[in-house]
Amino acid sequence: MKILGIETSCDETSAAVVENGISIISNIVYSQVEIHKSYNGVVPEIASRNHLIKMLEVLDMALRDVPLSDIDAVAVTNGPGLIGSLLVGLSTAKGLALSLAKPLIPVNHVEAHMYAPHLFNMIDFPYIGLVASGGHTLLYMCSGYDSLELIGTTVDDAVGEAYDKVAKLLGLGYPGGPLIDKLAREGNPDIPEFSDMPRLLPDTERDRYNFSYSGLKTAIAYRLGRIRNTDAAKKDIAAAFQKSAIELLCRKTKNALNDFNVKRLAVSGGVAANSLLREEILKLKYEGFEVYTAPAEYCSDNAAMVAGRGYQDYKAGRIGNLRTDAYSRLSVIKKGKR
């Protein structure tokens, strides 16, 4: 079964064709990073307009070797994400599904990210799923494609959001994740000026699986006043920040693995491409855990994960229609004071 996937939840315009949920025939991604750099972040109106400009071109490239007549269904991200951006992809998918008389499959963006490792690995259930991106930091207990229990979330900033904010403090630019990751490899995370960094969100019963990154950004901002923000110092600051950020991700994830007595972990989302996170989670293999992720280029937003997840949704009978709407947030996630 060949599914055409469409992804426009933020600032990537992507289309892909995936067969039977695992065989990637095509995956085209147009990124707007260069457009949004000057704003130090994504501008929703600009993002949606550029999706309109690029959508048909990206579709043509994804369908270059697959005629539309071979497409069995159209899967599309309908949330969470930027409403204007989502509507471009959703409207396109509705038009294609209607004209082809094929099923429309609305796909949850977070569940699509969680599916990305499945495109490249045979992963048995149950497992703990960590989703780490610019918009989400979530822990799931995954017992099946249709049995995903949210057990932990960030109470304020997502980890990728914190990367962007610290990169802005350092004058590095946007997006912050790759820039800080590159600098951190050359820095010393244990410089004296950062020796008193607070331990992020202790493992209390209430927050044993939760995350918090707003305080880390503030701690970096205060400590910047102690040192000169030179190019050499930026490397150490980036390393100190990254060490704390990744330590929290790994600590909370390991709590879940041990408490739920699960020996498998799947990591997804844009931050799953981070070199230190990959290095640290791979160490879990020496403790008897199975660790799965996708190649770095499939960790960020892409339509292959949407088409793959759409295949599972189709088998479960989750079919949309012309009234299927977009939504900006997951209703089960509430940030702020608990």
Residue 104 CA, chain-centre distance (Å), reads: 23
Q: Distance from CA of residue 300 to its chain's centroid?
A: 6
Tokens representing 211? 């995350």
- The reported pLDDT for the residue numbered 172 is 92
CB atoms within 10 A of CB 327: 15
Residue 333: per-residue pLDDT: 78
Q: What pLDDT is recorded for position 233?
A: 82
Contact 216, 245 (CB under 8 A): yes
C-alpha dist (Å) from residue 212 to 82, 128, 249: 23, 19, 10
Write out the DSSP string of 225-287: TTS---HHHHHHHHHHHHHHHHHHHHHHHHHHHHHTT--EEEEESGGGG-HHHHHHHHGGGGG
Handedness of CA 143, 146, 151, 157 (dihedral sign): positive
Q: In the chain, what are the domains?
A: 2-114+298-315 (3.30.420.40), 125-293 (3.30.420.40)
Residue 64 per-residue DSSP state: T
pLDDT digits (tens), the chain, 338 positions: 999 999 999 999 999 999 999 999 999 999 999 999 988 899 999 999 999 999 999 999 999 999 999 999 999 999 999 999 999 999 999 999 999 999 999 999 999 999 999 999 999 999 999 999 999 999 999 999 999 999 999 999 999 999 999 999 999 999 999 999 999 999 999 887 777 777 888 899 999 999 999 899 888 888 887 777 677 788 999 999 999 999 999 999 999 999 999 999 999 999 999 999 999 999 999 999 999 999 999 999 999 999 999 999 999 999 999 999 999 998 877 766 55
So what's the pLDDT on residue 198? Answer: 76
Report pLDDT for 195: 74
